[in-house]
Structure 1
Amino acid sequence: MAWFVLSSFVDRTIEMLHSEAVQQIGVTDELSELKNTMSSIKARLSDAEEKEELVDHRLFVDLEKVEELVDDLSSEALRQQLAGTLRRDSITKKVCTFFSTSSNQAASQYKLGEKIKGINKILARLKASLLDSGLVERHEENIDVVTRGKEPTPSYVHKEQVIIGRDRDTTAIKRYLFDVAENSEEKNVEVIPIVGARGIGKTTLAQLVFHDEEVVMHFDLRLWVNLETYQLQQKLGKIVRGKRYLLVLDDVLIGNPLMWTSLKNLSSGCANGSRIITTSSYWDAEIEITKSIGTTKPYELKPLDEEESWALFKKVVFENGEEKQINSQIVKRIVERCAGSPFAIKTIGRMLQSKDPETEWSTFLETDIISRIHRGDLNSFEALKIVWDNFPWNLKNCLAYCSLFPIDFEIDVKTLINLWIAQGFIYPSPGRHMEDVGYEYFRNLCWESIFQEVEKDENGIVSKCRMAPLMHQFVIKAAEQFVIPDLTTFEELWLPQPGQLGSPQLGQFWLAQHVSFGFHLDSSSILVRLLWDRAYNLHTILLPSQMRLETEETLSESFFDVIILRHKLLRVLDLHNLGIEMLPDSIGKLKHLRYLDVSQNSAIKSLPNSITMLLHLTVLKLSSCYGLQELPRDIHKLISLRHVEIDWCYSLTHLPRGLGHLTQLQTLSEFVLSKDNRHSCSLSQLAALNNLRGKLKIKNLENGIYDSKAAILKEKEHLTSLTLAWDLDVPEDTAKYQLDLLEPPSNIKELLLVRYDGIEFSNWFSSLNNLVKFSLRNCKCRHLPPLSHLSSLKVLILDQMTDLKCISNKYENNHPSSSSASAAAAAFFPSLEELRLTELPNLEEWWGGDNSLKATVSSLPSFPRLSKLMIEDCPKLSSMPLYTHLKEWLVLDNTSLETFQHIMNPFTSSQVPSETNKEWSAASTSSAVFASSSLSRLQSLCIIGIKKLDISYSDEIKWEGLRNLRFLRFDYLPKLNELPEGLQHVTTLQELHIWRCNMKTLPEWIGKFKFLTALGISACPYLNSLPEAIKSLSSLMTLEIVDCPILLERCKSENGADWHKIEHIPDLFFL
């Protein structure tokens, strides 16, 4: 029996009993006795875990009764609190029958008091039983990450992962990655083995390299793979095809020849410079790799030296880096026993944190555990158990709960934290949001290398993670009696009845509190049978792998009957993507529910108003419920609600009146305004919602003109992204007036305006110094506000703006004619990385004003960090700044020849071309078009719809300047009759697409593209054959031919004239 589950449960119960709301409902004496009894039981549970005693299952059953009662007390407190709020704010004119009268409240308190007395009798009996078992009260101070009314304990304050002494190793591995990539001509893939003793830090080193900024930029794709679950060739083959990838295989074992075969097959079809890093404690494993696919020389990771070991020990043991008065000889001996192993130093350091340096450290030095750590003879599970045993109750619960997710599953961190909160695993800390405390828990677990960071958001916050595979296996074992981890097959559903023997992992299903289904459910009947026959009073039902198909059946009504009758203690209910058309009124009976996910059920049109009886509900997920038209009218009664996710609910017409009373709301992804304010929410309701954080989109702003000031958006300092969207036309002056009133907080990072009808912008734009992304869509402005000075702006998107003629007006300081042009150029969009200009039919120039647009190129400012550029449907654009650092992608679609020349080679002329120079001959443009030294880092290029562009017959085009180009697309270029001769020098090319061109043949020199993995030809009706050289393209994995009648006839299987040229290609797609 997992004692930590029961101990943490008792902690949660005591926490609820101490809450202010519960204290105000009366029955004080009974509550006091209950708290004292619970505290005594908890102290004896600590002794039981220390002695590794077995637990009588009746203890769990009785404690569950206590949980139900305490939650009832909390519900009663919330009901009384809500009743007071309704009376005080006069939301309703009549007393709602939902609440009791004062006399009924007195009767209710008497009944609750009697219930508590009964429970106290049960707990007294259990306390006596524990006492008879010889268990004593073991009071421990240092057990919580954050304890009630205290500062965070030194052991588990939030800390970033401490890594010392691995800078040289990181540099060395990166040199392998980059230097080999430049010099290798024979192999697409090289393997870099990292070997060393267990606990020496091989995984940590691999993580440092994996997340290094230069490594991230160098590779198209990075993958961290769990070998035990991945079939490498099958699952990764298509993902890595044609890409320069970095694959990390952590903790490689020996004796798996099929894996090495798959690994070898991965080396074909990928881009040159791909790398695989392996980590292993076994040199034999690296010998196997070498025999199978060949490697560079294994990199042996050495132990930390004495100075590094001491520095790491101090970081782990001493609070805030302050050394205590301790015997230096003892510390020296302890560090020596760790033998330079970071795992040993961290593990022993954590164990010493709770011990007295003067009286206990010397004794600890002689224990068996430190000797075994020193000798390195602990197996993986024994080592993890040392880490596990040092965790407090609540972190153990958080960790065990993660076993509900399939192994190697990408976990959304915000979802994970909300699930922890729903189960009561996160203890409140004064003055802090529970979500912030939860993230602190998560970071502590990352510090222990339990989670692997997969993705971070723009603010550096970890948004997705994976659980380390070994720890995943460990926690499954540790929590097997209370958590049924991801059931992966239907066969696992048929579990033994209570009292019968069965699978060791699943035999305790009857007592399980949490269950998840790690496979796709396509039949609700199976779910009903399981939840009725094999489970009782679950706290969690999770569906992490659910992906519904439109042809599958909808969830049956019997499912909800089972949920209500058998699982009334549910705290988390995941119903996403189950084809639900309507939730039943009985959903309101799940009074303990904290977390409800009904997202991606597109047929739901409304929610029953009974859902507002779920007073504990904190998370309501409705995203992608495309048919949802309204939220429950009494949603203001959900006073515990903190997160309402309604992204992509396109049919939502309004939000219900009273939403502004939910002052704890942190997530409200969309705020939809309506003309009818009698029953719907107005902008004024936003005034009190100052806890909102993350993203907020306000729609239909034409319905909130007169309430805009009341929204007070600038006080919502936790918002990071704001979208202001109008749906109907608004007079120009009115739109400007409204925008002035909708000033966002000055620290906003993303701002999007949709269908703004004002000509000018508000003055508050100049104060948005933290703005990272700015987007305008379908707006009527003729130029932008001054933006070039914004030091944090990374993304600028302008889309569907028919009136826009210039991007900056002549008064902006960086105008080319400015007397301080050189100084302005240095500060011109200093951080901009991505620029998209799309569907701007009247955009003529970057700067408005007079003929100073014909300034010399040398005086034009350039974007110092721009890496991505898209110019689409801007046929009149002629004057632009310089783009000298493009790296990731360049898309030119329906642009003018002037723009094309200016971007591809801005230094061929002394000035920007005049607007009257409309026609160029092929000869005059040949050297201008692709003399591309400024684009030498560019990886992807798309040239589309430039009808007058003719580059087919030039012998002087400097294609060789595009030294890193991997993706090339020619589309709708009527004058492109042949591929340019110079293109044969771009030997780095991995994908080539030719669409809607008048080509007749492909050249034989296409055989020089030895790294080409994908070739696409579409709507080229005159193309009459494929070159023989295609047979030599050994890396070519995909050939796609669409709407090319002559070519399709020649490529028919078996008897086509060109079939012998392409039969070696694995993936052929013809249409």
Structure 2
Amino acid sequence: MPVEMGRLTNLQTLTRFIVGKDGGGGRSIKQLKCLNNLRGELTISGLENVTIEEAREADLRGKQNIHSLQLWWGTQRSDNGKMDDDDDDDVLEGLKPHPNLKSFFISDFGGTKYPTWMAPSTGLSAYKNLIELRIQDCPRLEYVPPMLGELAFLIVLKLTGMEKVKCIGREFYYGSNNNSCSTCGTGATSSSSSETVVAFPSLNNLTLSGMFNLEDWLEVLPSFPSLEILILKSCPELKIMPSRFPSLKRLQFWSTNRMALRSFSSNLISVKVLQIYYCEELKWVPERLLQNNAHVLESMIFYQCDKLETIFPSSQGRQEGSSPLPTPLVFPSLKVLEIYKCPLLKSLPDLRGMTSLRQLFLYGFKELKSLPEGLHRLTMLEFLEIGQFSEKGLQLDYIKGEEDLQNLVSLRGLRLYGWPQHKNLRDQLKHLTNLLFLRTAADYLTNMACELASDSLFHGTTSLP
């Protein structure tokens, strides 16, 4: 940083300030003391080099036009590489920002407690204009910030890398003056105050990630009326969580306990995008999740769920206690379906109720011998990737349903794995006049793609081996 930068008292834009280890020259955070005309966004990094006195002298509270503030500590500050510096508690206490703040981000904070201006008695209630809050990689904090549900304008909330948090309780929603009284492990609760208070009234986007010991997330009603995006990632112990998200449109579920998915999915009615990744213990997708959202689902992705046996409900293999469902279940709005590396799936999906599909990827299956039922109905399909077609490592002579390929008149991209070596396939593909590229690892199909590229019916087709 420039020497004596603190003398630039009329400076309005300073997007990043890096605190140096020696604290000399222009690298001390004290240089910010008189820069009260700063506005917009400010990122301060190297906070492991700051003392409590220096933090207070920086006077962030006096900078009323700073609307976006990011505070970064270093990731490794001791010989063993662990963040165990209790000085961080005092430094964060001294970095109290002005209440006009709209976006606040904390990363790699090594302390064990929140400052008084984020304490359980008041939370961030002074920061009524807060729209976005992100707390990242603060492994020594044992609970989430309190009273966030009272922030009327909070839209984005991302809590990641808070490894010691075991429970998200009622303090996450309200302060002690609210009459709702329950703790983790007791199920849902409703506010009993004379005037109903809606928690998180404006929250649209919520992420909980890297919370490896989180077990319970208490439901307090009413709450989350506007939540549209929910991302749960690397929460392997989570078993109980809220079940009412009336506006939820996008659900991403990564490496998280299957019981959490089952505990809340039955009440979802508006999900358009469903993405499930690396859920090793998941054996089936909850039927009600699909049944209740079949009419609005637009995209579904299932990736590397090693024990997944069933995705789409059918008359066979019914889940215990389930109600009758049509076979197949109809997804009139579904445009994207991707299933990758789910080796225990008992069958390919029935596509007869998915006539709006534009993109279909079915990859990582073992020894497929047929194309999915209903493929011929996908006249709007633009991209198809499917495989592996083989039997004990050998090419098959025939794939059941291969004649359906000629009906995919809108197909622009095709990738096949382990397709049989016979000439009939070329005749099927000649009907696909919109095909732009054909990819395969098989030499035979690569040669075929080259032939198609030279054919007048396939002008512009590209072979990608």
1:828 aligns with 2:193: no
Distance 1:659 1:1039, change over 3 A: farther
1:775 aligns with 2:130: no
- Cα distance in 2 between the residues matched to 1:1011 and 1:677: 62
1:951 aligns with 2:311: no
Q: In angstroms, what is the RMSD of aligned CA positions? A: 3.2
Contact 2:272 2:293 (8 Å CA) reproduced = no
Q: Which residue number in structure 2 is paired with residue 1049 of structure 1?
A: 418
Q: Which residue number in structure 2 is paired with residue 672 of structure 1?
A: 18
Deviation at residue 710 of structure 1 after TM alignment:
1.3
Question: Of 884, 891, 900, which residue of structure 1 is paired with 2:252?
Answer: 891
Question: Of 295, 303, 306, which residue of structure 2 is paired with 1:974?
Answer: 306
- Cα distance in 1 between the residues matched to 2:422 and 2:92: 63
1:762 aligns with 2:115: yes
- Cα distance in 2 between the residues matched to 1:1070 and 1:692: 57
Deviation at residue 680 of structure 1 after TM alignment:
4.0
Q: Which residue number in structure 2 is paired with residue 662 of structure 1?
A: 8
1:746 aligns with 2:92: no
Contact 1:969 1:994 (8 Å CA) reproduced = yes
- Cα distance in 2 between the residues matched to 1:744 and 1:861: 31
- Cα distance in 2 between the residues matched to 1:709 and 1:684: 9
Contact 2:244 2:264 (8 Å CA) reproduced = yes
Question: Of 63, 85, 89, which residue of structure 2 is paired with 1:716?
Answer: 63
TM-score of the pair, normalised by structure 1:
0.33
Distance 1:770 1:957, change over 3 A: closer
Q: Which residue number in structure 2 is paired with residue 545 of structure 1?
A: none
Deviation at residue 702 of structure 1 after TM alignment:
0.7
Contact 1:860 1:882 (8 Å CA) reproduced = no
Q: Which residue number in structure 1 is paired with residue 32 of structure 2?
A: 686
- Cα distance in 2 between the residues matched to 1:1053 and 1:753: 60
Contact 2:328 2:352 (8 Å CA) reproduced = no
Structure 2 counterpart SS, 1:826:
coil
Q: Which residue number in structure 2 is paired with residue 1019 of structure 1?
A: 364
Contact 1:863 1:882 (8 Å CA) reproduced = no
Amino acid at match of 1:804: V
- Cα distance in 2 between the residues matched to 1:1070 and 1:825: 60
- Cα distance in 2 between the residues matched to 1:724 and 1:751: 8
Cα deviations by residue, 1:636-663 (Å, 9 ceiling, x for unpaired): xxxxxxxxxxxxxxxxxxx232222233
Contact 1:1028 1:1061 (8 Å CA) reproduced = no
1:737 aligns with 2:82: no
Contact 1:732 1:759 (8 Å CA) reproduced = no
Higher mean displacement: 831-840 or 803-812: 803-812
Contact 2:332 2:356 (8 Å CA) reproduced = yes
1:487-886 superposed matches below 5 A: 655-705=1-51, 706-727=53-74, 728-729=76-77, 731=84, 733-765=86-118, 766=124, 767-779=126-138, 780-786=140-146, 787-808=148-169, 812-813=175-176, 816-817=181-182, 821-823=191-193, 826-847=197-218, 860-886=221-247
Amino acid at match of 1:783: Y
Amino acid at match of 2:338: H
- Cα distance in 2 between the residues matched to 1:1021 and 1:883: 38
Cα deviations by residue, 1:831-888 (Å, 9 ceiling, x for unpaired): 21111011111111235xxxxxxxxx8x654311111101111011123233322433
- Cα distance in 2 between the residues matched to 1:1029 and 1:820: 46
Q: Which residue number in structure 2 is paired with residue 551 of structure 1?
A: none
Structure 1 counterpart SS, 2:246:
coil
Contact 2:107 2:135 (8 Å CA) reproduced = yes
Deviation at residue 961 of structure 1 after TM alignment:
3.8
> Which structure carries more strand by proportion?
2
Q: Which residue number in structure 2 is paired with residue 145 of structure 1?
A: none
TM-score of the pair, normalised by structure 2:
0.72
- Cα distance in 2 between the residues matched to 1:788 and 1:956: 28
Distance 1:957 1:682, change over 3 A: closer
Cα deviations by residue, 1:424-453 (Å, 9 ceiling, x for unpaired): xxxxxxxxxxxxxxxxxxxxxxxxxxxxxx
Structure 1 counterpart SS, 2:149:
coil
- Cα distance in 1 between the residues matched to 2:264 and 2:431: 37
Distance 1:894 1:1057, change over 3 A: farther
Structure 2 counterpart SS, 1:702:
helix
Relative contact order, higher structure (CA 8 A, sep 6+): 2
- Cα distance in 2 between the residues matched to 1:1064 and 1:1033: 15
Deviation at residue 762 of structure 1 after TM alignment:
1.5
Distance 1:1059 1:842, change over 3 A: farther
1:417-496 superposed matches below 5 A: none
Structure 2 counterpart SS, 1:1008:
coil
Q: Which residue number in structure 1 is paired with residue 332 of structure 2?
A: 987
1:938 aligns with 2:278: no
Structure 2 counterpart SS, 1:764:
helix
Contact 1:1051 1:1059 (8 Å CA) reproduced = no
Contact 1:804 1:840 (8 Å CA) reproduced = yes
Distance 1:1048 1:1058, change over 3 A: farther
Deviation at residue 957 of structure 1 after TM alignment:
7.6
Cα deviations by residue, 1:874-922 (Å, 9 ceiling, x for unpaired): 01112323332243300112222321112201xxxxxxxxxxxxxxxxx
Cα deviations by residue, 1:690-735 (Å, 9 ceiling, x for unpaired): 2222211101101122411111111111111111110044655421
Contact 2:358 2:380 (8 Å CA) reproduced = yes
Contact 1:1025 1:1050 (8 Å CA) reproduced = no
Amino acid at match of 2:95: L
Cα deviations by residue, 1:498-523 (Å, 9 ceiling, x for unpaired): xxxxxxxxxxxxxxxxxxxxxxxxxx
Amino acid at match of 1:835: L
Contact 1:660 1:685 (8 Å CA) reproduced = yes
Amino acid at match of 1:1029: G
Structure 1 counterpart SS, 2:93:
helix
Deviation at residue 1064 of structure 1 after TM alignment:
5.8
Amino acid at match of 2:273: S
- Cα distance in 1 between the residues matched to 2:87 and 2:363: 49
Deviation at residue 1052 of structure 1 after TM alignment:
7.9
Contact 1:1001 1:1025 (8 Å CA) reproduced = no
Distance 1:1052 1:790, change over 3 A: farther
Distance 1:1009 1:809, change over 3 A: closer
